[in-house]
Structure 1
Amino acid sequence: MSEQSVAAGRPSHDPLTPVLSDTWDADRSWTLQAYRDHGGYAGLRAALAQEPADVVATVKASGLRGRGGAGFPTGMKWGFLPPPDGGPRYLVVNADESEPGTCKDIPLMMASPQALIEGVAITSYAIGCHHAFIYVRGEVLHVYRRLLRAVEEAYAAGLLGKDVQGSGFDLEVTVHAGAGAYICGEETALLDSLEGLRGQPRLKPPFPAVAGLYARPTVVNNVESIASVPSIVARGADWFTSMGTERSAGYGLFSLSGHVTRPGQYEAPLGTTLRELLDLAGGMRGGKALKFWTPGGSSTPIFTDAHLDTPLDYESVAKAGSMLGTRALQIFDETTCVVRAVSRWTDFYAHESCGKCTPCREGTYWMKQVLARIEGGQGTEADLDLLLDTCDNILGRAFCALGDGATSPVTSSIELFRAEYEAHITGGGCPFDPAAAALFDYTSRPSSRVLTAGVH
């Protein structure tokens, strides 16, 4: 799609706004040459011609909010750094994507790693950083290798290293592979891991902006947040704010997975609805009815078909009782047992708890036991109250957001589907056939199935 059509806004019948994903279908899109052929590094050239403070002001004016889940204004976060004191300051990109259902950063880094690297260079210049780190989830070895190669290309082209593009600005970039811990998606646990320590959240304050990596001022941003910066600097804040809503500006990657006809990444303005995205994705698989879905991954309260027209922006989703999070839209149809789904998510959180605080360590463990008991038909009515009481003892009392997130699917599912929980208790087990809810037919050996990488 042309830049002009993006800037003018998309017509109502086609809500897609491919910007980050615009080059994903290009030949060898991950190479520096392909990225430059599509206008890549225009943002870096524009940034280096300005004062760093002007770049920060542009990002602030754009209203870009963190795309990693919390939605905190990106430019404001940069502005929290204390005045320069002669010592180093760092940029750390959180690429430890591990929330169940979240799958936007990995395809972005696979298809267009140079967009992230250009964003790293612009952000580093804006905040006065001369050494940036990209912390990648260790299991995604293919992404790690692709980023390493992309960084090599950028160094060879003079886009990183000493005297970037003759500007006098120096920047080193280190790509670091983590060891695969969900807790390292929490920014302070990530910093400890990056320093070689066990990944556990730090007590705040001090916040990373004051004492982050190596106890120095540090900005920690999500992959999509940083990759959005080049287009903002190249095209202007007004272009960015022409999309989205007043308080949730711009576009974002919406990851549709589960019981949909065409799962994949759909890049659209914030404020689009699941109904619109489902139309683009070919509707529910097999024409079945939508039962429940997550607006932002498994750690956000679930929605039902009553929320099909809820605008997917930070304010509207919060008003409806959930969180936009990472826009990981996991879609479940009428064949799915909500108790089974919530039980599996809770297994994950119990396994991934770092164990630092009692509410999360013990609470997730006991929720896992109770949910397994209910699903297996051995639960009692008192178990539902026990689950809610356990959630109350975790929520707001855990050391970081992992504990809070683990309670979200439990409390919201009991609120919305209490009768289904009770049916497991009174009926002596699950009334649903797990095979009917499976995404694939495993009775035969299907040919390999490739999910849509991007839809334009």
Structure 2
Amino acid sequence: MLGQLRPGGGIRSGQAPCCNGAECAASAADAAREARRGSSGSSSEPPVQIWPDVPYLEEHPFFAPQTRWVLANCGLIDPNSIDEYVARGGYQALSKALRFITPDELCDQVERSGLRGRGGGGFLTGRKWKFARATPAEQKYVICNADEGDPGAFMDRAVIEGDPHRVVEGLALAAYAVGASKGIVYIRAEYPLAIRNLTRALEQARAVGLLGPDILGSGFSFDIYIKKGAGAFVCGEETALIHSVEGKRGMPRPRPPFPAVRGVFGQPTVINNVETLANLPLLVRNGWEWFASLGTPSSKGTKVFALSGKVQRTGLIEVAMGTSIRKIIFEIGGGPPAGKAYKAAQIGGPSGGCIPAQHLDIEIDYESLKSVGAMMGSGGLVVMDEDNCMVDVAKFFMDFIQRESCGKCIPCREGTKQMLDILNSITRSRRSETQAQTLERFKGILTLQKLAQVIGDTSLCGLGQTAANPVLSTLRFFRDEYETHVYDRKCPAGVCRELLSYRIDPDLCKGCTICGKKCPTGAILGAPKAPHYIVEEKCIACGACHEACRLGAVIAE
């Protein structure tokens, strides 16, 4: 039986809904642990074996090395039930703050805890709150930035889908601390499930008096509204997000003034991302000392990552600050599949950098990652093995950034386009290359470095200032790959198709003619049932013959 808060402070009993599959097994294991602790007072005794052959959730190699604070409820509770959230300690932090902690004390506690923004920059959350609280205004705003646009990142969406009340409670705590009466969740319109669950959570919180006027009889009034974003990557930047909320085109503006002083409609505005807000209920409930006890001297708490790419186990993970990249990839992720060698991990999304094998033991820490040309970012972690081409990786992210540039400032708008043109020239076939393009290619590496410096120094917003990071990072650790592309016209990983050359092994070719029929330029000649050959002058290196051959007779090199 679960309890539900009522406006008058009463409790209504309700039956917990049944779950199924993996969630049911996880919930049963969790219930067994709670029962064991309740009966013995200790969790050190041998666990109760409901199903002898089914391990507990935390015993699975994917979950065992993790420290799940933010994700603690995801998959274990019904996200559409405020009863289940309350039963697991939900809204206790808000009640505690409204009854026993003043707004100034709350700002001070969050600052002393060492909680830093989880959206990328890593600014101290409590310090940002103090700026907004110290700015006099009749109306203040708090905004939850759920505009998650990094390729391969889905942390914020999953938290809102799986535990929306935690985000609502965190936003209410932030509003109480800075003196705001209005909150906004800025979320992408293409996240329909997250929007639906969040809308339901807001309705439930209003119904029981946790949002609206005079919350829990404290005199504090606050409500939250949803603003759907159109999916522009640049709207993840604070000032561009503010313009979008105001109904304008999402384009950054110079800072100062900072949003904490002058934000939405010219009023003081605090913007925190989903993960930052999701940490607040635990921090307030358990105390700032508890939160500060986990992590490194400069980075406290945990960090959620979307682990993807060339690993055996992918998905959302949460680890303590200070955990090594090696532990994440090889213990949690199981390492690259099929015995492939680890090559690099792209961390921090388009604004981040690559962590090569020689830095696998680096810790997850804001300063440590910066020292190797990467950044924490929102939490994307893409693993690559020996079959990945780092020039192609840099080209992918530069293409993304160039397309997502708002176009307001020339360094970002034109500089990223020039960098992408150089990367394209490095991977372009020599057959389609002019003399001018050949010269551009030979100067490519030096030009990339110069452009990166100019873009970083002169761009208007943080996205432009970090736009060149993927190129700089891959150049720093994989310069030999760039030089092989530029001077030898080869791709060591065999990814850049235009640099590949194709030949037919006469010992393997049976003369089936399939490759010849697929060739768009008629570059493959030979009689039926006899070995074929490729006319190099006609070959455009499209790879159609290589894909069509079922015998492996077409060799790419």
Identify whether the pair has TM-score above 0.5, normalized to the shorter chain.
yes
CA distance in 2, matches of 1:368, 1:332: 21
- Check whether the contact 1:381–1:422 (CA below 8 A) recurs between aligned residues: no
Structure 2 match to 1:453: none
Structure 2 match to 1:44: 94
CA distance in 1, matches of 2:422, 2:388: 20
Residue 23 (str. 1) matches residue 84 (str. 2): no
Structure 2 match to 1:156: 207
Letter in 2 for 1:365: K
CA distance in 1, matches of 2:341, 2:113: 38
* Residue 228 (structure 1) aligned to one of 266, 270, 279: 279
Residue 314 (str. 1) matches residue 375 (str. 2): no
* Residue 386 (structure 1) aligned to one of 429, 437, 447: 447
| Deviation of the 1:55 alpha carbon | 1.5
CA distance in 2, matches of 1:29, 1:203: 39
Which residues of 2 match residues 401-412 of structure 1 at below 5 A? 401-412=462-473
Q: Which moved more, 1:375-384 or 1:127-136?
A: 375-384
Which residues of 2 match residues 113-128 of structure 1 at below 5 A? 113-128=164-179
* Residue 35 (structure 1) aligned to one of 85, 92, 116: 85
Residue 358 (str. 1) matches residue 410 (str. 2): yes
* TM-score when normalising by structure 1: 0.90
Structure 1 match to 2:319: 268
C-alpha offsets along residues 204-233 of structure 1, whole Å, 9 cap, x if unaligned? 111111111110111111111111111111
Which residues of 2 match residues 124-203 of structure 1 at below 5 A? 124-203=175-254
- Check whether the contact 1:376–1:430 (CA below 8 A) recurs between aligned residues: no
- Check whether the contact 2:80–2:200 (CA below 8 A) recurs between aligned residues: no
Partner of 2:457: helix, strand, or coil?
Answer: coil
Partner of 1:221: helix, strand, or coil?
Answer: strand
Q: Which moved more, 1:422-431 or 1:336-345?
A: 422-431
Aligned residues: 433
Alpha carbons of 1:53 and 1:276: their partners in 2 closer, same or farther (altered >3 Å)? same
| Deviation of the 1:266 alpha carbon | 1.4
Q: Which moved more, 1:96-105 or 1:336-345?
A: 96-105
CA distance in 2, matches of 1:270, 1:225: 14
Letter in 2 for 1:51: T
| Deviation of the 1:131 alpha carbon | 0.4
* Residue 328 (structure 1) aligned to one of 380, 385, 410: 380
Structure 2 match to 1:302: 354
C-alpha offsets along residues 85-122 of structure 1, whole Å, 9 cap, x if unaligned? 45101101111111223321111111111100000111
* Residue 108 (structure 1) aligned to one of 159, 172, 176: 159
Q: Which moved more, 1:271-280 or 1:381-390?
A: 381-390
Q: Which moved more, 1:391-400 or 1:425-434?
A: 425-434
C-alpha offsets along residues 332-368 of structure 1, whole Å, 9 cap, x if unaligned? 1110011111111111011000000000000111111
Which residues of 2 match residues 63-74 of structure 1 at below 5 A? 63-74=114-125
Structure 2, unmatched stretches of 5+, are 1-29, 44-57, 431-437, 498-546, 548-557
Partner of 1:67: helix, strand, or coil?
Answer: coil
Which residues of 2 match residues 337-352 of structure 1 at below 5 A? 337-352=389-404
C-alpha offsets along residues 47-97 of structure 1, whole Å, 9 cap, x if unaligned? 111211122122112110111111111001101125464510110111111
| Deviation of the 1:325 alpha carbon | 2.2
Structure 1, unmatched stretches of 5+, are 437-442, 444-456
Letter in 2 for 1:32: I
C-alpha offsets along residues 346-399 of structure 1, whole Å, 9 cap, x if unaligned? 110110000000000001111111111212234522122222222122111000
Residue 248 (str. 1) matches residue 309 (str. 2): no
Structure with the greater relative contact order (CA < 8 A, sep ≥ 6): 1 or 2? 1
C-alpha offsets along residues 417-454 of structure 1, whole Å, 9 cap, x if unaligned? 12212222334353434499xxxxxx9xxxxxxxxxxx
Structure 2 match to 1:439: none
Alpha carbons of 1:405 and 1:102: their partners in 2 closer, same or farther (altered >3 Å)? farther
CA distance in 1, matches of 2:133, 2:158: 34
CA distance in 2, matches of 1:86, 1:100: 38
CA distance in 2, matches of 1:253, 1:197: 32
Alpha carbons of 1:83 and 1:423: their partners in 2 closer, same or farther (altered >3 Å)? closer
Q: Which moved more, 1:355-364 or 1:326-335?
A: 326-335
Q: Which moved more, 1:102-111 or 1:30-39?
A: 30-39
Query: How many percent identity over aligned positions?
Result: 40
- Check whether the contact 1:52–1:126 (CA below 8 A) recurs between aligned residues: yes
- Check whether the contact 1:377–1:424 (CA below 8 A) recurs between aligned residues: no
- Check whether the contact 2:133–2:179 (CA below 8 A) recurs between aligned residues: no
Which residues of 2 match residues 46-65 of structure 1 at below 5 A? 46-49=96-99, 50-65=101-116
| Deviation of the 1:403 alpha carbon | 1.8
Q: Which moved more, 1:216-225 or 1:417-426?
A: 417-426
Greater C-alpha Rg: 2
Letter in 1 for 2:73: T
Letter in 2 for 1:110: E
Structure 1 match to 2:461: 400
Letter in 2 for 1:41: Y
Structure 1 match to 2:145: 94
Letter in 2 for 1:108: V
CA distance in 2, matches of 1:321, 1:357: 24
| Deviation of the 1:317 alpha carbon | 1.8
CA distance in 1, matches of 2:335, 2:479: 27
Letter in 1 for 2:458: R
| Deviation of the 1:303 alpha carbon | 1.4
- Check whether the contact 2:305–2:381 (CA below 8 A) recurs between aligned residues: yes
- Check whether the contact 1:256–1:330 (CA below 8 A) recurs between aligned residues: yes
CA distance in 1, matches of 2:68, 2:133: 36
Partner of 1:275: helix, strand, or coil?
Answer: helix
What is the aligned-residue RMSD (CA, Å)?
2.4
Letter in 2 for 1:38: R
CA distance in 2, matches of 1:365, 1:34: 50
Q: Which moved more, 1:317-326 or 1:112-121?
A: 317-326
- Check whether the contact 1:101–1:298 (CA below 8 A) recurs between aligned residues: no
Partner of 2:378: helix, strand, or coil?
Answer: coil
| Deviation of the 1:316 alpha carbon | 1.9
| Deviation of the 1:286 alpha carbon | 2.1
Letter in 2 for 1:384: I
